[in-house]
Amino acid sequence: MSRPANVVAVDLGGTTIKAARFNAQGVAEESLRLATPSSQGPEAVVAAVVRAAAALVRLGTRAVGLCAPGLIDDAAGVVRFASNLGLRDTPLAAAVADRLSLPVTLEHDVRAACLAEQRLGLGSDVQDLLVVVLGTGVAAGIVSNGQLVRGTSGFAGEFGHIPVHADGEHCACGQHGCLEAYLSASALVRRYRRTGGTANNAADITARLKTDPDAARLWAEGTDALGRALVTSTVLLDHQHIVLAGGITAAGEALTNPVRRALQRGLAWRAAPSVDISPLGVDAGLLGAALRATDASGLSGSDGVAPLARRPRMKGAGHRVAPKTKSATSPAAEARAR
């Protein structure tokens, strides 16, 4: 007996691999999370991705969508370089396809998040969109005239390396004055510790904005840096809407209000585009990977199947893609992965 069509998506992160299977109504029927075994080497990382996808494939699965950080060659399905994962010229899509005998797509995680925002989030009625993900690093997805921008080498969107201060803070990329050296989670923690403060993450710093002058100063410098970078991108690309995503957006209006002011200050001769926080949360990349799988599967309205044609929802859990969490070593998961 055949089962209704579905797609599987896997989001490979530096610390966690998230995966889910989406049915024809855009509902994530089952999901799992497991730790990324990056310390065990690239072969272990690839094997974990294959195992996560295999655990969710069922009769009716038409395609698998993957997303990952780093320099991604989506046309070839290859992770050209991902330092945190130890991957270099790794044919990730082929590894999954060989195991499952299904079409497999690979997309940059931030572009996948941008695709989800374009179709399912705040960009659904927008032709020119910028999605900036503020996490351990900073990157962006760009939609211009309704099309996702990839660039000549497929590396478009390195937003964190827009220079905002000449001869400013040293950046891990080798340049000075990059946005990422001011308003990434890692930069905030590093700069705060340099003042003598103690913080484990960006949330520790934003919690002290009203009581700690050093935290307030560094946050102000970071939000100003983001505003400056957004001025550059807006003048160049004329965004209709800017969406902020990633862990730092948990700061809410403490982030959006100063960024909006800094952006408007830098655009004295025109109105600034709107700036909002993504409603899709941490699962945006996973949703984008599912959309890419849907596109590659050949599914269309003509056969009555349109996975993710509307914003996904979880049974009893809003739109979050985590109704159930399985241990990577559970007997059921291991049995399905073999």
Output 14-20 pairs: Cβ under 8 A, ≥24 positions apart: 14/38, 14/69, 14/84, 14/85, 14/136, 17/48, 17/49, 17/52, 18/283, 18/286, 18/321, 18/322, 19/52, 19/53, 19/55, 19/56, 19/286, 20/56, 20/286, 20/290, 20/321
* Range of lowest pLDDT (56-65, 124-133, 267-276, 324-333): 324-333
- Pick from 148, 3, 2: nearest CA to 67: 148
8 A C-beta contact, residue 76 and residue 90: no
* pLDDT at residue 255 greater than cutoff 50: yes
| Residue written as token pair 């390396």 | 161
The rounded mean pLDDT for the chain is 86
| Residue 152, burial from CB neighbour count under 10 angstroms (0-12, 13-18, 19+) | exposed
State how far the Cα of 231 lies from the Cα of 235, in Å rounded to an integer.
6
For the chain, the first-to-last Cα distance in angstroms comes to 22
8 A C-beta contact, residue 286 and residue 9: yes
Structure confidence at residue 62 as a pLDDT band (50, 70, 90): very high
* pLDDT at residue 310 greater than cutoff 80: no
* pLDDT at residue 177 greater than cutoff 90: yes
Give the mean pLDDT of 111-137: 92
Provide the whole-model pTM: 0.82
Compute the 3-state secondary structure of the chain and give helix, strand, coil in percent, each to the nearest 5. 40, 25, 35
